[in-house]
């Protein structure tokens, strides 16, 4: 940061710390309302009679869980589930992947989310976020959980974030297939446009390897934002861009050094040395329990520019810069507001 820049240190509300406020879950309010039933109302008597005699909560939760689990196992063993053209497996994501990530999200990183009102309830949108992590790009997984958590409505499952990943991810055995099943696909314009046209929420981390591999001293300094390919896809499809700022993710694996020779030998974009990796072996892969904040910013609408402006580099760079600036300034604001890395 060579130039002085005025960064709003406080949120829109004066003195209030938006980062501290955990946004209310959408599911809670309608549920509470639904439980109030007029018991003696002649007009709705027939409807009331259709309601089950015991409230749903009276059915033993474990009983239901076992039944659901068995039904899930049966589906999996018979191959009786549907996937989409990208290989996204909602059955596996809803029942296995998200429940596995949930403890990491709730207990380990204690993610606090702001600006969920900026997430559209339907239609396509492109979520652009800062990327870090050193070893694991856990920020993408945590953003996906946050989106799923805060777009659901009662029993309705939330929306899935369709992540765009680097080709290296899909070359890797195991993890690449899992990522595809969890909704990821290759970060390329045809895929991004196809997803956005299909009305999906698409997540992109334009810093790429430069982001996850950046040294610890550069934390929260946004790296180059690719060539603006993500803006191109948003312009072509008229989808809004939602800047996402993630704080906490850049401390989970402090990258102290990058062994370039080893990276070249192993054909990796970088080979990080962290305080724990590779010294502690597999234990070094455990992320540090930093406290996370994810803020979904106000959407930047691309439809006014028109699809043909996708080929205008000036518009492209302009929007890219705007998105980058928004994320960077939000990061600084959140950093100033947080009490410590761990709490």
Q: Is 194 one of the binding residues for other proteins (CB under 8 A)?
A: yes
Nearer to other proteins, 166 or 259 (CB): 166
Any idea what DSSP says for residue 96? I
Q: Report the alpha-carbon distance of residue 144 to residue 26 in Å, rounded.
A: 16
Count of positions on this chain that bind other proteins (CB under 8 A): 30
Any idea what DSSP says for residue 32? H
Name which position in 167, 308, 312, 325 contacts other proteins (CB under 8 A): 167
Cα dihedral sign, 45-51-57-58: positive
Q: Is 190 one of the binding residues for other proteins (CB under 8 A)?
A: yes
Q: Is 84 one of the binding residues for other proteins (CB under 8 A)?
A: yes
Nearer to other proteins, 76 or 210 (CB): 76
Name which position in 6, 82, 266, 314 contacts other proteins (CB under 8 A): 82
Q: Is 73 one of the binding residues for other proteins (CB under 8 A)?
A: no
Residue 191 corresponds to which tokens in the numbers above? 């895929």
Name which position in 186, 259, 286, 288 contacts other proteins (CB under 8 A): 186
Nearer to other proteins, 53 or 266 (CB): 266
Residue burial 237-263, b: 16+ Cβ < 10 Å; e: rest: bbbbbbbbbbbbbbbbbbbeebeeeee
Contact between 131 and 211 (Cβ < 8 Å): yes
Q: Is 90 one of the binding residues for other proteins (CB under 8 A)?
A: no
Name which position in 20, 69, 81, 312 contacts other proteins (CB under 8 A): 81
Q: Is 277 one of the binding residues for other proteins (CB under 8 A)?
A: no
Q: Report the alpha-carbon distance of residue 284 to residue 212 in Å, rounded.
A: 16
The CB-of-112 to other proteins minimum distance in angstroms stands at 33
Name which position in 139, 149, 191, 295 contacts other proteins (CB under 8 A): 191
Length in residues, the chain = 343
| Residue among 271, 278, 274 at smallest CA distance from 256 | 274
* 3-class DSSP assignment, residue 105: helix
Give the strand pairing for 185-186 and 112-114. unpaired
Nearer to other proteins, 191 or 251 (CB): 191
Q: Is 176 one of the binding residues for other proteins (CB under 8 A)?
A: yes
The CB-of-46 to other proteins minimum distance in angstroms stands at 41
The CB-of-198 to other proteins minimum distance in angstroms stands at 11
CB atoms < 10 A from the CB of 16, how many?
A: 11
Bridge partners of 113, per DSSP, are 294
Q: Report the alpha-carbon distance of residue 321 to residue 150 in Å, rounded.
A: 28
Give the strand pairing for 241-247 and 125-129. parallel
Q: Is 70 one of the binding residues for other proteins (CB under 8 A)?
A: no
| Residue among 239, 173, 236 at smallest CA distance from 203 | 239
Q: Is 89 one of the binding residues for other proteins (CB under 8 A)?
A: yes
Name which position in 20, 177, 265, 303 contacts other proteins (CB under 8 A): 177
Q: Is 185 one of the binding residues for other proteins (CB under 8 A)?
A: yes
Stretch that binds other proteins, among 76-84, 233-241, 272-280, 302-310 (CB under 8 A): 76-84
Q: What are phi and psi of 174, to 5 degrees?
A: 80, -70
The CB-of-171 to other proteins minimum distance in angstroms stands at 4
Stretch that binds other proteins, among 122-130, 143-151, 162-170, 283-291 (CB under 8 A): 162-170
Which helix or strand (DSSP H or E) is residue 196 part of? helix 189-197
Name which position in 15, 174, 281, 282 contacts other proteins (CB under 8 A): 174
Binding site for other proteins (CB under 8 A): 76-87, 89, 167-168, 170-174, 176-177, 180-181, 185-186, 188, 190-191, 194
């Amino acid at each position: 940061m060579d130039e002085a820049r005025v960064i709003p240190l406080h949120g829109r509300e004066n003195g209030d710390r938006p980062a501290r406020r955990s946004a209310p879950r959408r599911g809670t309010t309608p549920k509470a309302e639904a439980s109030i039933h007029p018991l003696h109302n002649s007009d709705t008597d027939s409807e009331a009679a259709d309601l089950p005699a015991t409230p749903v909560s009276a059915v033993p939760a474990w009983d239901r869980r076992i039944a659901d689990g068995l039904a899930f196992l049966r589906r999996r063993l018979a191959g009786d589930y549907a996937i989409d053209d990208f290989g996204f497996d909602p059955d596996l994501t809803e029942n296995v992947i998200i429940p596995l990530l949930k403890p990491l999200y709730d207990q380990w990183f204690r993610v606090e989310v702001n600006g969920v009102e900026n997430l559209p309830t339907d239609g396509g949108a492109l979520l652009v976020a800062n990327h870090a992590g050193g070893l694991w790009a856990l920020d993408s997984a945590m953003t996906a959980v946050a989106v799923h958590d805060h777009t659901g409505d009662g029993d309705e499952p939330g929306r899935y974030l369709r992540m765009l990943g680097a080709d290296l991810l899909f070359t890797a055995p195991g993890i690449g297939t899992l990522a595809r099943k969890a909704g990821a696909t290759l970060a390329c314009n045809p895929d991004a446009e196809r997803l956005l046209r299909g009305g999906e929420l698409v997540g992109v981390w334009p810093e790429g390897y430069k982001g996850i591999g950046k040294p610890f001293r550069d934390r929260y300094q946004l790296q180059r934002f690719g060539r603006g390919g993500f803006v191109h896809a948003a312009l072509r499809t008229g989808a809004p861009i939602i800047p996402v700022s993630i704080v906490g993710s850049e401390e989970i694996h402090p990258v102290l050094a990058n062994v370039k020779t080893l990276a070249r030998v192993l054909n990796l974009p970088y080979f990080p040395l962290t305080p724990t990796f590779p010294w502690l072996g597999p234990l070094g892969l455990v992320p540090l329990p930093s406290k996370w904040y994810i803020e979904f910013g106000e959407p930047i609408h691309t439809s006014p520019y028109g699809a043909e402006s996708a080929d205008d580099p000036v518009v492209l760079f302009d929007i890219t810069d705007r998105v980058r600036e928004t994320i960077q300034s939000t990061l600084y604001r959140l950093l100033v507001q947080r009490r410590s890395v761990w709490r």
